[in-house]
Chains A and B, each alone.
Chain A
Amino acid sequence: MASNRMSRKLINIYRLGIKELWSLWRDPVMMVLIVFTFTFSVYTAGTSMPDTLNKAPIAIVDEDDSPLSQRIISAFYLPYFMPPQMISLQEMDSGMDAGLYTFVLNIPPNLQRDVLAGRDAEIQLNVDATRMSQAFTGSGYVQQIIQSEVSEFLQRYRSNTELPVNLAVRARFNPALDQSWFGSLMQIINQITMVAIILTGAALIREREHGTIEHLLVMPVTPAEIMVAKVWSMGLVVLIAAALSLNGMVRGILNVPVEGSLPLFFAGAALHLFATTSMGIFMATLARSMPQFGLLMVLVMMPLQMLSGATTPRESMPEFVQNIMLIAPTTHFVEMGQAILYRSAGFDVVWPQFLALAIIGSVLFIYSLERFRKAIMQMA
């Protein structure tokens, strides 16, 4: 008898899930959303993440007008720098105030003469430090370029000594520090979260708006079955879409090598989906309509994505933000994803994240089910 009831439950959950899949299949907006997020937006995230320095606008005040200064000027070219603008000293301040140039190089009179004479010479580099992305790495580049141009220039006149101790810097896991590796995989991770919440939330709100939830409730099915059916079906869709995207888009088209174990990653993703689909249900019980759900999404998704460590490193956030974000499933999923996909970590390394996701997922699921049970009564 008990086993009979159990199998009834499973059959109901299966049937209701299949119904969800049909509903999704016939909803063009959601289908376009899934396709778009897992193809186009992964592609753009992989290709358009700017390299640290890209077309930085630079201006040069050349008060020397010597072969050396010409040599320096001609060393700035695309794609790192825009062709340098030659300006006068008076134009420097106003140009920087208006934000026209990120860098202004001031080459003093008699630079070449002083350098050749071995006297102290100084070039001034003005950086607009309100443009963080270009300012920091860019000024390093500018210095290097100037130094190497000057020393090459001097090579003809005197030999230079090498530094005795070298740094042999190697980047592990992404030797060329290729941004597309990071951008595309993190985008998939972000999209898994977003699409899972939207799909489950929208599926519930749609049932409520169409009044079909009422119909389900007069049938011999329980709220728990309805919710589990939504969780498994929508989770499965996202999992498949993510797997296709990871293999086709990231490895195939973007040529990003993925070192780690994909089965392990998707096992973790499944656990994460358990948490996020529950969250989708929860948000749908809070929102009274689709528009409200949309507004909630705006407020919830931004912190989930931006503070999870998928855009900037967690350790540079204030400690209280780091601690708060420990309750968000995305934090653990991002950590786990980075460890598996980039550093090919095994289960022995990422088990704490698995455990955290399992706990967060269960809490969210139980809490959402409780709310769903209550809300469903008000819906009917």
Chain B
Amino acid sequence: MDSVARLQQVSLQYGKTCALDSVSLDIPAGCMVGLLGPDGVGKSSLLALLSGARMVQDGTVEVLGGDMASRHHRNRVCPNIAYMPQGLGKNLYPSLSVEENLQFFARLFGHSRGERRRRIDHLTRSTGLYPFLSRPAGKLSGGMKQKLGLCCALIHDPDLLILDEPTTGVDPLARAQFWDLIRDIRRSRPGMSVVVATAYMDEAQGFDWLVVMDDGHVLDTGTPAELLNRTHSDSLEAAFIALLPDDKKEGYAPVEIPPLPEDGHDIAIEAKDLTMRFGDFTAVDHVSFRIRRGEIFGFLGSNGCGKSTTMKMLTGLLPASEGEAWLFGNEVDPHDLATRRRVGYMSQSFSLYGELTVEQNLVLHARLFHVPEDDVAQRVEEMISRFDLQDVRGFLPEKLPMGIRQRLSLAVAMVHKPELLILDEPTSGVDPVARDNFWRLLIELSRRDQVTIFISTHFMNEALRCDRMSMMHAGVVLDSDQPQNLIAKRNAATLEEAFISYLIEATADSSDATVSEENISDPDSETPASQKQRPPRFSLQRLWSYLWRETLELQRDPVRATLALIGSLILMLVIGYGMTMDVDDLPYAVLDYDQSTISQNYSLNLSGSQYFIERDPIHDYADLDRRMRSGELALAIEIPPGFGRSVLRGDNVDIGVWVDGAMPSRAETVKGYISGMHTLWLQQRATESGYSGMLSSAVDVETRYRYNPDVKSLPAMVPAVIPLLLLMMPAMLTALAVVREKELGSIINLYVTPVTRTEFILGKQLPYVGFAMINFFLMSLMAVTLFDVPVTGSYPALTFAALIYSFATTGLGLLVSALTRSQIAAIFFAMVGTLIPAVQFSGLTDPVSSLEGGARTIGEIYPATHMVTIARGIFSKALNLQDLAGSFWPMAASVPVIIGIAIALLKKQEH
């Protein structure tokens, strides 16, 4: 048999965790291969290696006849591989519509406009997505998201289709439709190989060949029939457990459910016409049911069908829009804290405090539920031993395996001995052995302790274990009964079939489930020549594709868009008004002990100044002290008794001046003003009394304040603030744009599509250069109008400089993004990393020429330095392009260097 991929001794480590341990495998070509195993056994890692998204660490991975460690080979085969990562729509863009998502991918693979239209129409028609082309991907149901993911993967006719858990959390009907779709595609393209990972063991029954995995190892391979034979099992789940190594199976026994005693018609929960609306969307539509005390009641349904919402209404987390519910005969009231003490709740995702130890979590919950203080310790011990947590009591939950966390969650939900347990998908992501162990605990709680259990799940075999169950779809309960009765009612062989039959009935008239008869195969498909060849090294279309998408996404994110459009303006207003160094309107008062005409003349001299505002005269020292302490006076003048007489006689006399030194820079300025005015007064006196010769000094220093004759703050500040803001905001937003993709997972499209790093980087950068330029125009407009700072030099030259500078600053953002993984870190590093050098070394306060050593070197190469010089030159010094050539060249030279480094640091594969 031909193989599509061959792995030899492949190992993969994430830090200390070993995801794959020396795996060797031959995957046959042209068939449907399933990777089987619970979460976290290395399935996704294996698929990521096959698709080229993740870098090969150890061993060799050959796909489509070449080594995936070679970049050359990856570039050649990547257009022939399609990869759909795990998680509903993880590589899609939620704010983009179905059409826009498909256009984006089609452009990346170089299709022409007409070809894109034809392919998109064809794919969406055959998957039933056509009516939803304009709906944002984030608003699609789980099944539709997966179909869209599949369309995006199929847009370029791949030879190898890699699907990572494509049906997890999708309702059975959508799941069945999905597999039908895959079957159709394979029928029309028989040569195509499909590799699928799945956690639903039963789904794999129809595959051609299986790989069973656990804990980074391959347990066994073969056709489903072979595996069942070898393990003498009747289901793949049983076969999986049989294949597990012995230490894992230790203590395992199949789950047995004692029958529910028939006595007692005590009702624990009753819901009547429970309805929940969010806006015009009805999440839960007139749901009614009754649950007896001690019963295990199951809710079966896909993600987003309203299971969690119903449970939240019962716990009082959400107030119902309509309908009523009773717990133990009491109406559910979100404000009734007493009923809450009778209910235990375990939410969908693990949600205990990761920062508290296992024991602390238990103690905290016991106390918040008001378990009497004396009983807390004993109760916690009881839970620890009952749920087998002795060995991990001092551990932080984050470090524990899923199975143990699940037990801890249950222990926490049980710590106050509730009569009712509400469990929202408690077993997702847990391996079958741990799941069965968990169920044994539930059964014990139900049968022995008479705890009523209300559980939701999307696993059929779990639903089968419930005493009674409801099938739910799109907010409506389809039917409720004992599982066996439901199967019987529909004449189905399995619960899954029964569910599908209910779903078909329910959705018969809704269009989202209809799959048109149009075949997915398309014999006329003219395969573009470019596609099967090696894609071009550089393609403007791919660059444009990223650019267009980035702009669309930004438009739909209000916080980022605001920041991109007017963030700099807001900050410029703040800085312009907040950083002014002008000192005006200083409150002062005079303590005049002399009260002569001369002393009054002296005070008058001060009050005429624009810098000072006179307050009521000071009476005495106590008054002076009080008023200065309260901050009412910034300056106090004390004129001594006999001042006038002394001046007339020419005796030496001191005027006391008290300056509020709390803010030293202001005090310095005040001192400067007051001594200047004092000198002026003296000169006036001297001229008046004919002593002018006595005071004139030998040399006049004629001070010319150039460029800013009034020595005003704003004309000095504004030209320097513009480069600062053009640096900070664009750098931060560009960094975020890239890191966001890393955090949300869509970066995978860079890894597995033909887009190159340069195209990616430029596509990400250009929109922000555009926004930086808009900000630049707005800021210069604000400078001229609001702040009254004219541009004296050549404005076109300034615009040109701003353009070059924006490339440099957004490039710095890209550089930051290459070094960070989380958005919050990107914000922080972009702020600190750009602001500190800009404020300290780029001549904002101290000119670069007064720096020394390393600081000077940084100052000389940092683009902000040159932009500050250019902005000051053009705003205040009436210069033009030629005059500032010495600053333009180094700034322009920094652009390719910065972008080059950013490209070099960006990885085309996950490490």
Contact = CB atoms under 8 A, between A and B. Distances in A.
Contacts of B586: 315
A22 B877 contact: no
Contacts of A55: 846, 850
A164 B697 contact: no
A222 B333 CA distance: 13
B660 to A, nearest CB: 6
B699 A377 contact: no
B554 interface: no
A143 B661 contact: no
B702 A212 contact: no
A148 to B, nearest CB: 10
Interface residues on A, range: 35 or more
24 contacts: A27-B355, A55-B850, A82-B849, A100-B849, A122-B702, A126-B706, A127-B703, A130-B708, A132-B716, A133-B581, A136-B672, A137-B672, A150-B697, A151-B697, A165-B652, A165-B653, A170-B657, A171-B658, A214-B347, A220-B369, A289-B823, A294-B823, A316-B582, A318-B577
B633 to A, nearest CB: 10
A267 interface: no
A131 B702 contact: no
Contacts of B706: 96, 126-129
Contacts of A303: 570, 574, 578
A338 B663 contact: yes
A146 B702 CA distance: 11
Interface of A: 8, 11-12, 15-16, 19, 22-27, 50, 52, 54-57, 82, 96-102, 111, 115, 118, 120-137, 139-140, 142-143, 146-147, 150-151, 154, 161-175, 177-179, 181-182, 210-212, 214-222, 287, 289-292, 294-296, 298-299, 302-303, 306-307, 311-313, 315-318, 321, 335, 338-339, 342-345, 349, 377, 380
Contacts of B351: 210-212, 214-215
| Top 8 A-B residue pairs of the complex, sorted by shortest distance between their CB atoms | A306-B578, A211-B351, A171-B661, A174-B661, A129-B708, A291-B823, A220-B337, A26-B355
Interface in B628-660: 628-631, 646-647, 650-660
A311 B650 CA distance: 43
A172 B661 contact: yes
A175 B704 contact: no
Interface in B654-683: 654-669, 671-672, 674-675, 678, 682
A124 B662 CA distance: 35
Contact of A125 (B662, B703, B887): B703
B355 A102 contact: no
A57 B849 contact: yes
A151 B719 CA distance: 40
Contact of A54 (B341, B652, B846): B846
Nearest to B351: A211
A211 B720 CA distance: 45
Contacts of A132: 581, 711, 713, 716-717
Nearest to B871: A130
Given A170-B657, A214-B351, A343-B628, A177 B877 contact: no
A291 B826 CA distance: 9
B674 A169 contact: yes
Contacts of A164: 646-647, 650-653, 682
B876 A172 contact: no
A317 B577 contact: yes
Contact of B869 (A98, A165, A291, A377): A98
A131 B716 contact: yes
A338 B581 CA distance: 19
Contacts of B695: 163
Nearest to A18: B364
A115 B707 CA distance: 30
Contacts of A169: 657, 659, 671, 674-675
Q: Which range contains the number of B residues in contact with the other chain?
A: 35 or more
B317 A218 contact: yes
Interface in B40-75: none
B265 to A, nearest CB: 27
Given A171-B659, A303-B578, A343-B628, A313 B583 contact: yes
B189 interface: no
A369 to B, nearest CB: 15
Given A57-B847, A99-B872, A219 B340 contact: yes
B223 to A, nearest CB: 41
Contacts of A25: 355
Given A147-B697, A169-B657, A179 B678 contact: no
Given A111-B699, A312-B580, A321-B578, 9 more contacts: A124-B701, A150-B697, A164-B682, A166-B652, A171-B660, A175-B661, A179-B665, A220-B341, A290-B824
A182 B662 CA distance: 7
Contacts of A313: 583, 663, 666
A24 B354 CA distance: 11
Contact of A179 (B655, B664, B699, B877): B664
B347 A123 contact: no
Given A214-B347, A377-B318, A167 B699 contact: no
Interface stretch (B251-259, B480-488, B559-567, B771-779): B559-567
Given A12-B368, A345-B630, A124 B702 contact: yes
B360 interface: yes
B585 interface: yes
Contacts of A15: 364, 367-368
B367 A131 contact: no
Contacts of B202: none
B295 to A, nearest CB: 21
Most buried by A among B585, B631, B877: B631
Contacts of A312: 578-581, 665-666
Nearest to B632: A349
A177 B824 CA distance: 39
A302 B574 CA distance: 7
Given A307-B574, A307-B578, A316-B584, A220 B628 contact: no
B276 to A, nearest CB: 11
Nearest to A12: B368
A311 B317 contact: no
B877 A295 contact: no
Contacts of B195: none
A218 B341 CA distance: 9
A321 B651 contact: no
Given A97-B877, A306-B574, A317-B578, A173 B662 contact: yes
Contact of A316 (B350, B365, B580, B732): B580
B335 to A, nearest CB: 8
A338 B630 CA distance: 9
B330 interface: no
A252 B756 CA distance: 56
B337 A150 contact: no
Given A295-B560, A316-B584, A166 B849 contact: no
A129 to B, nearest CB: 4
A136 B711 contact: yes
A8 B317 contact: no
B312 interface: yes
A168 B654 contact: yes
A329 B80 CA distance: 61
Nearest to B643: A165
Contacts of B315: 217-218
Nearest to A296: B559
B574 A315 contact: no
Contacts of A135: 705, 708, 711, 716
Contact of B827 (A82, A128, A298): A298
Contacts of A98: 869, 873, 884, 886-887
A119 to B, nearest CB: 10
Given A174-B661, A338-B662, A349 B629 contact: yes
A351 B203 CA distance: 73
Given A27-B355, A181-B664, A99 B578 contact: no
Contacts of B674: 167, 169
Contacts of B740: 291
